[in-house]
Chains A and B, each alone.
Chain A
Amino acid sequence: MHNFKGSSLLLAVFAGISVLFMTFSCKSEAKSDENELPKAVVKGYADIVFATYNDALLTAKNLESAVSAFLSSPTNENLSSAKTAWLTARKYYGQTEVFRFYDGPIDNGETGVEGLLNAWPLDEVYVDYVEGAPNAGIINNITTYPEINKSLLIEMNEKGGEENISCGYHAIEFMLWGQDLSDKTAGERPVSDFAPGNLINDRRRTYLELTTSLLVEHLQQLNDEWNPEIENNYYKTFVGLAPDVAIQKILTGMGVLSKVELAGERMFTAYDNASQEDEQSCFSDNTKADLMNNIGGIMNVFFGTYVRYDKSNLQVKSIKDLLLLKDVTLYKQTETLLRTCNNDFQNIYQPFDNAIVLEDKRPQVMQAILSVQQLGDQMALIAAALGTSINVNAN
């Protein structure tokens, strides 16, 4: 009996140990299944990133053609086509901005091109003449900058101040629209600014041509980093990351874009200063569309759907699918909040430079700011629900 009792205890211990082992082995098997969805989500995200950059590149090339047509025949009609091409290009670039803030190719310390593509606000007087300063800017300063070439434009960008912007979307925007001097309309740069044969006009023509060409080059670089067909690029690195690390990056991009970039830098600053100088696309009055495109990008990533330039629809596994497994309530909350943000942004009065100064239009701007600030914090909650953590206060 004693022995039996003793051996029964031993048996129990062994049994316990085996159960423990079994549990471990079961867990590890289950884990490999559990990993499949996160991996699919990471790959799905990378595919959306590539598709969006690819469209940003495509529409930038269309812009380049339109600019080229305008420069060979500087008519109002061709200027108008170039402007339309710029607005279309912005639609796709705006949707890529959710791919920022985690030291990906766009923000890489050594090779990142964000500042060359999308720096703002741009001090007009740094580039060209403005009202009251007819001989201002790089274009008019023949002595200091005898030749306008690509390396000059790159070198001068963000030189000696963060508003000293010489290239990117907003430099092209300023070239096409000119200063926005009216509450009623966007900038109205005369076509005659681009009439060939006059030294300053020729420099302006070169400036527009080169800065558009640089835009394409820089987008090509991002496109190549995310192209799944190319070896040894960031796409390969990204899909090879441990899923939780990649998911942390995905959520950081969404959270920081919402809270820091949209709520803080792009909206509240303009709202608080009630100053057109603080709106992003001030020359073309396209700021509201920029904001909508940014929210659109966040929704693409969250829901795993993206409508391409060619109207085809990309659908992938996404954060949504992960969240549905972990926390349905949080998923529903997030979905509602995203719709709210989208509606609140839609409700902002157009143009944005009026929305921030007209007393009866300002509350809608503030409402959108509060919603998108909350969206940033929501991303931190999602991260926690998915077993990771992110800092949405940093950019």
Chain B
Amino acid sequence: MNIKIKSVYQIIILIIITTVTILSCNQLDGNNASSSLKAELNESLSGGAATVFDQTVNAFALPIPDLSSQDELLFFVGNSFFNQNWVQAPASTTARDGLGPYFNAKSCSGCHFKDGRGQPPATIGQLSEGFIVRLSIPGKGLNGAPIGDPNYGKQFQDHAIDGVKNEGLFNIDWKIIEGKYPDGKAYELRQPIITFNELNYGNMRSDIMISPRVAPQMIGLGLLEAMDEKAILAFADEADKNNDGISGKPNYVWNAITQKTELGRFGWKANEPTILQQISGALNGDMGISSTHFHDQHILPHQAAAKNAPQGGNPEIENDDLEKLHLYSATLAVPARRDINDENVLAGKQLFKLLNCNSCHIDKMVTGTHPKFTVLSNQTIRPYTDLLLHNMGEGLADNRPDFLATGMEWRTPPLWGIGLFHVVNKHTFYLHDGRARNIEEAILWHGGEAEKSKNDFMQLSEKDRNNLIHFLNSL
């Protein structure tokens, strides 16, 4: 009897506890359910474990967490090479001489300031702040690469060392294009028109093809390199078999280091296969620094003064230093997203999917195994890219093919970090040549395979359009 009564009380207490628990559980669910939209678990971790939480001017400049102590120290050495201004040879500072003879910038950070995004020049002839002009003539060269102009090569260099004439100057005129949303709101876009003047080495070919490009942000490159090729190819739909109007085409490019044709991952046209080749190419093409991988100084037969200019050693960047720069470039972390639970951001995220933006700007994927930095392996990342080529229409076309990329095709650029350009680089210039002065303009430039998504965007109410932009700014 005693036992029974006791157990009755116990049961009652148990019931009370259970009820309270259930109620509080319901309460919790109810709270979440009050808004139908919610952020996913870990959604703010754009780079998985390689995410950092910094929203200052240094947001793009941080190493991935959990590097070994040794790698962490080497990261900072790489950082110093990234920032340093190269000087004309010969100089007392032998580790950093060899600039030019032709160049666009004196340092990596000149274009990728604070590891961020370049911008079109404000004045003619100024040192590049991350804007270069690629050149080529019709046809395919060795291993499928573009063929440079006979007088100016594949990249126009508007600076040269003392005693050597630069290749000339380029000027940007902005053509203004006006338009209106269906709701009547007006907008204005600008398109760059590049002209060359004061050319010092003769004319360019009349059929010259030119492609202006800004320097992209450096974050998360190691994570993109850690993506399995198969996983990227699974995004491809070159013949548009699923009939959604969106293709996704891999570029296959020449890897001069391995001497093989490989999947292109980096660059505006997915024209570079690896980080190492990308940085060796940039040292060489943008600053005139030779390395183990690229000895050529881009001196054309008629550029006699340049041929006789002193070299800063051979190679000009020692391999050991190049490796540190490589480590640095592969281990820059991705900043976390902000405001992921903000109502407007969540609404914008839903629209991003509704408008099929995520068909190309793929929001979530898992990295494979990185051979060197384990923290980059098997990470769920949110880069908002498929690393593939898409036809983006006439408006954006540079009409300059690059390996398999046609003159209309561009690689989907990763969107992570795009909401922080204004903090890191004090500007909001988007797209391959920085023509878009804000995110809205960047969306409005989408054409070709993205024409439908763009049109759907234009049909949205102003509030919805703003929500979509809020979402993009939270990346």
| Pick from B6, B58, B79: contact of A9, CB under 8 Å | B6
Given contacts A123-B85, A391-B65, A394-B54, A269 and B77 within 8 Å (CB-CB): yes
* Binary contact readout B60-87 vs A (1 if CB under 8 angstroms, 0 otherwise): 0111010101001111110110011101
Binds B, one of A43-51, A145-153, A259-267: A259-267
Tell me whether A160 and B128 are in contact in the complex, defined as CB-CB below 8 angstroms, given that A107-B56, A109-B56, A132-B91 are known contacts: yes
Residue of A nearest to B4 (CB): A2
Tell me, in angstroms, the Cα distance from A107 to B58 when the chains sit together: 10
Q: How many A-B residue pairs have CB under 8 A?
A: 117
Interface residue B52 (Cβ < 8 Å from any Cβ of A): yes
Chain B residues with CB under 8 Å of A268's CB are 73, 76-77
Closest 7 CB pairs of A and B: A264-B76, A161-B110, A162-B83, A162-B109, A268-B73, A123-B85, A269-B80
Name the residue on A nearest B8 (C-beta): A6
Instruction: Report chain B residues within 8 Å CB of A2.
Output: 1-2, 5
A109 to B338, CA, bound (A): 16
Contacts of A107 in B (CB 8 A): 56-57
Q: Which stretch of A270-278, A288-296, A335-343, A346-354 is in the interface?
A: A270-278
Verify if B95 is at the interface (C-beta below 8 Å from A).
yes
Question: For A265, what are the chain B residues with a Cβ–Cβ distance below 8 Å?
Answer: 76, 79-80
For residue B340, CB closer than 8 A to chain A, the reply is: no
Question: Do B5 and A6 have beta carbons less than 8 Å apart?
Answer: yes
A-B contact pairs, 10 of them (CB 8 A): A9-B6, A159-B129, A160-B128, A161-B105, A163-B83, A393-B62, A393-B67, A394-B53, A394-B63, A395-B58
- Say yes or no: B62 contacts A395, CB within 8 Å: yes
Q: Does B439 count as interface, using CB distance less than 8 angstroms?
A: no
Instruction: Indicate whether B269 reaches chain A with its CB closer than 8 angstroms.
Output: no
B201 within 8 A of A: no
Q: How far is the CA of A293 from the CA of B231 in the complex (A)?
A: 51
B441, chain A: closest CB distance, angstroms: 24
Which residues of B have CB within 8 Å of A59? Answer: none
Binary flags per residue of A121-155, CB closer than 8 Å to B gives 1, else 0: 10101100001110000000000000000000000
Interface bin, chain A: 35 or more
Decide: A103 and B56 in contact? CB cutoff 8 A.
yes
Question: Cβ of B337 < 8 Å from any Cβ of A?
Answer: no
Residue contact A9 to B1, C-beta cutoff 8 Å: no
Contacting residue for B9 out of A9, A277, A373, CB 8 A:
A9
* Shortest distance from the beta carbon of A12 to any chain B beta carbon, whole Å: 10
What distance in Å separates the Cβ of A259 from its nearest Cβ neighbour in chain B? Answer: 8
Are B61 and A395 in contact (CB-based, < 8 A)? yes
Chain B residues with CB under 8 Å of chain A are 1-2, 5-6, 9, 13, 52-58, 61-63, 65, 67, 69, 72-77, 79-80, 83-85, 87, 91-93, 95-96, 105-107, 109-110, 113-114, 126-129, 162, 324, 423
Contact B85 A5, beta carbon cutoff 8 Å:
no
Is A369 part of the binding interface, using a Cβ–Cβ cutoff of 8 Å? Answer: yes
A13:B80 contact, CB within 8 angstroms: no
Residues in A whose Cβ lies below 8 Å from that of B92: 131, 181
Given contacts A109-B55, A162-B107, A277-B93, contact A263 B73 (CB under 8 A): yes
Residues on the B chain within 8 Å of A133, using CB: 162
- Whether, in the assembled complex, A213 has its beta carbon less than 8 Å from a beta carbon of chain B, the answer is no
Check A269–B1 contact: CB distance below 8 A: no
| Chain A contacts for B63, CB-based, 8 A | 393-394
The residue in chain A whose Cβ has the minimal distance to the Cβ of B93 is A277
Provide the bound-state CA to CA distance between A164 and B129, in Å: 12
A13 and B83 form a contact (CB under 8 A): no
6 new A-B contacts at CB < 8 Å, known A164-B85, A272-B77, A373-B73: A125-B85, A160-B127, A162-B114, A163-B109, A164-B110, A269-B79
The answer to whether B62 touches A109 (Cβ under 8 A) is no
The minimal Cβ–Cβ distance linking B11 to chain A, given in whole angstroms, is 12
A321 at the binding interface (Cβ < 8 Å) = no
Q: B6, B57, B58, B76: which has the most chain A beta carbons within 10 Å? A: B76
Among residues of B, the one whose C-beta sits closest to the C-beta of A108 is B56
Within 8 Å CB of B1, what residues of A?
2
Instruction: Please pick, from B84, B95, B324, the residue contacting A121 in the complex, using a CB distance under 8 A.
Output: B84
B58 touching A162, Cβ below 8 Å: no
* Closest Cβ–Cβ distance, residue A261 to chain B (whole Å): 9
Given contacts A163-B83, A391-B52, A394-B62, A275 and B93 within 8 Å (CB-CB): yes
Smallest CB separation, B106 vs chain A (Å):
6
Using CB atoms, name the residue of chain B closest to A12.
Answer: B9
Closest A residue to B62 by beta carbon equals A394
Docked complex Cα distance between A299 and B113 (Å): 33
Task: Kindly identify which residue among B6, B57, B73, B87 contacts A272, using a CB–CB cutoff of 8 Å.
Answer: B73
Q: Complex formed: what's the CA distance from A373 to B70 in Å?
A: 11
Q: Is A202 interfacial (CB-CB < 8 Å)? A: no
Q: Which residue of A lies closest to B76 (CB)?
A: A264
User: Considering the chains assembled together, what is the distance between the CA atoms of A9 and B9 in angstroms?
Assistant: 8
Are A273's CB and B77's CB within 8 A?
Answer: yes
A158-B113 in contact given A273-B77, A277-B84 (Cβ < 8 Å): yes
Query: CB distance B53 to A391 under 8 Å?
Result: yes
Contact assessment for A393 and B110 in the assembled complex, using a CB-CB cutoff below 8 Å: no
Query: Contact between A109 and B13 (Cβ–Cβ < 8 Å)?
Result: no
Pairwise interchain contact A160-B126, C-beta atoms closer than 8 A: yes
The CA of A393 and the CA of B95, in the complex, are separated in Å by 27
> In the assembly, what is the distance between CA of A370 and CA of B466, in Å?
50
B95 contacts which chain A residues (CB < 8 A)? 273, 275, 277
Contact check, A125 vs B87: say whether CB atoms are below 8 A apart: yes
Question: A358 an interface residue at 8 Å Cβ cutoff?
Answer: no
**Looking across the interface, which residue of chain A has its beta carbon closest to that of B54?**
A394
Residues of A within 8 A of B85 (CB): 123, 125-126, 161, 163-164
Q: What are the interface flags for A1-28 relative to B under an 8 Å C-beta threshold, 1 for contact and 0 otherwise?
A: 1100110011001000000000000000
Is the beta-carbon distance between A161 and B13 smaller than 8 angstroms? no
Q: Is the CB of A5 within 8 A of B2?
A: yes
Chain B residues near A125: list those with CB within 8 A: 85, 87
